[in-house]
Amino acid sequence: MYIGLDIGRQVLKLVALEKVKAGYKIIKTAQRLIPEQNRPFDPEKIDSPIRVIAIKELLRQNGLKPKRVKNLITGISGTNSSVKQIATMDMSKDELASSMNFEARKHIPMDGTDAVIDYQILGSNRNEVDKIDVALIACTKRVLSNHLSMVKETGMKPWIVDVEPVAVMNSFLAANGLPDEGVAVILDIGAVTSSLIVWGSQDMFFTRDLPVGVHDMVKDISNRKSIEYIEAQEELLSSGIDAFKKSEETSGMIAVTERTALDNFVEDVRRTLRFYAKSSNQSHFTGIHLSGGGSSISGLDAMIQDKLQLNTVIFNPFSGMESKEDVVEGNPSQYAIATGLAVRGCNES
């Protein structure tokens, strides 16, 4: 059993998978809110000790003893890591691993800090037969050290540490595969930040961290309607994108439409896709797949589809996987990162 643990800013998600002949089997899924229930979420107050307590409680609730947890895969956020596709000579695994530090110095700016380097082979390079495409991944030693210390504080022994955008990509590959023509877009909407991943079987892998999440949307509703954070959060949950609409005014004044956090978020996605199209010469986006906790906002998929004129669907990371009935707790799309982490573990065995 391989356990992917997504240590989010607001919610913990856990997915346990087994490798089977047909692919993967879901053994367990679980989630837990990190902040106290019915308290306004403040990401600045969610520190490592609070996360450790929440992780221990998640394990206890699911009958998992920390010391007995094996094959644990966790992830570092896109904000604290860099991912870039490069082309390099096709070589042995040992040679490739030793060459990655040199490649990282050329391709990833780390501001003079000590970096930890990892990579994932994406496939053969379409332009040069003797080269392969590689996702070069880097984070600082301090970021990795702090992450490992937090995991160890829970009593568990970390095995593999991945980065979240790559985990989302691996989850998508396991469920859907890549389009033969054009590129797929995966938009993982988190509590504080979101990740946009673009990739196709013949095209450049690209990821960008967007500094907007559900927290910003709740704050916007709270400010626009002059209501408390918790009330705004409940409105977003119950009304979806309609929660951004102000109540009807009877003053007779001409209303001026104000841009919402949601409008700005979608515009940021549009700009990022334009940048990808310009830098890669590929503008055939086959569709947008929404994942993360924010994907469950009612009407968001239709809004994005209308504004960007791209088919938009909610991604199910468990598509095609074996499972017992009712094994998935809550919205499946929120488990994209945790599923991708568990898939990485299965494929490393």
Which pair of tokens denotes residue 116? 């930890």
- In a domain, residue 65? The reply is no
Give the residue-averaged pLDDT of 306-334.
Answer: 92
Model pLDDT, residue 25: 95
- In a domain, residue 163? The reply is no
- The CATH number assigned to the domain holding 245 equals 3.30.420.40
* 82 phi, psi to nearest 5 deg: -130, 140
State the pLDDT confidence band at 259, using cuts at 50, 70 and 90.
confident
Nearest C-alpha neighbor of 80 from the set 107, 47, 110, 52: 110
Model pLDDT, residue 244: 92
Average pLDDT, the chain: 91
Tell me how crowded residue 332 is: count the other CB atoms within 10 A of its CB. Answer: 20
CB 216 within 8 A of CB 261: yes
Nearest C-alpha neighbor of 164 from the set 72, 85, 82, 76: 76
d(CA 5, CA 9): 13
Q: How many domains does the chain have?
A: 1
State the pLDDT confidence band at 322, using cuts at 50, 70 and 90.
very high
Give whole-number Cα distances, 88 to 94, 134, 283, in Å: 14, 7, 25
Contact residues for 155 (Cβ-Cβ < 8 A; gap 6+): 56, 66, 67
User: Is residue 248 predicted with pLDDT exceeding 60?
Assistant: no
Model pLDDT, residue 93: 85
- In a domain, residue 265? The reply is yes
- In a domain, residue 17? The reply is no
Q: Which domain holds residue 215?
A: 178-314
What angle is formed at CA 76 by the lines to CA 70 and CA 77, rounded to 5 degrees?
A: 145
User: Is residue 346 predicted with pLDDT exceeding 80?
Assistant: yes
Give the residue-averaged pLDDT of 280-287.
Answer: 95
- In a domain, residue 193? The reply is yes
- In a domain, residue 136? The reply is no
**Using CA of residue 315, residue 217, residue 57, residue 347, what is the dihedral sign?**
positive
pTM for this structure?
Answer: 0.92
What angle is formed at CA 273 by the lines to CA 271 and CA 275, rounded to 5 degrees?
A: 70
Which pair of tokens denotes residue 237? 């949950």
User: Is residue 112 predicted with pLDDT exceeding 80?
Assistant: no
- In a domain, residue 209? The reply is yes
Q: What is the pLDDT of residues 327-338, one digit of tens each?
A: 888 899 999 999
* 83 phi, psi to nearest 5 deg: -130, 130
Nearest C-alpha neighbor of 154 from the set 272, 233, 64, 219: 64
- In a domain, residue 68? The reply is no
